[in-house]
Amino acid sequence: MARASSPEPLPVLIFFYGDYSSMNKSEADHFIGELLETSAIAFGVRDRRSPHIWFAPGEQKEIAHYIATETGGEYFDATPETCATALGQILQQLHSRYQPGFKPEALDGKRHKLLVKLADSAKNQHKGVRLRFRAASVPTRHEIR
């Protein structure tokens, strides 16, 4: 792996709301698929006082939380007093991220699940390390440079 001397910008979405939302599951997955074709990461800060939503069958509830999880981001519960702390945690994650690369077997535009694990020796050496990664990748021709 090589380090880029001038890294490319990282598209980041940050949702600031109660995530009192839902969307048809297939539409949500289509939207996430579009994001997974890029390097975009979503995060969110939810006012913990916001109500949770009930949803109908076939719908994905808390859509912004779902998008954040699927793109490798995180959704935080906060109060107005702790919102700045949550935003600081998001910025810290973006600043200290490590982005490994890989060459997909095919540039087929289909969603492929990803699993990232630490080797046992690394787990023992770095106890408490938490891996955050996107759940899938959608390899397309424009992704390879």
Q: Where are the domains of the chain?
A: 12-101
Judge whether residue 28 has pLDDT over 80: yes
The confidence score (pLDDT) of residue 45 equals: 93
Q: Which of 87, 92, 83 is nearest to 132 (CA)?
A: 92
Judge whether residue 1 has pLDDT over 50: no
Average pLDDT over residues 106-127: 85
Query: Do 44 and 16 touch, CB atoms closer than 8 A?
Result: yes
Q: Which of 80, 62, 56 is nearest to 20 (CA)?
A: 62
According to the per-residue pLDDT averaged within each range, which of 12-26, 50-64, 75-89 is highest?
75-89
The mean pLDDT of the chain is 82
> How many Cβ atoms sit within 10 Å of the Cβ of residue 68?
23
Q: Return the percentage of the chain with pLDDT > 90, whole number.
A: 23
Instruction: End-to-end CA distance of the chain: give it in Å, rounded.
Output: 14
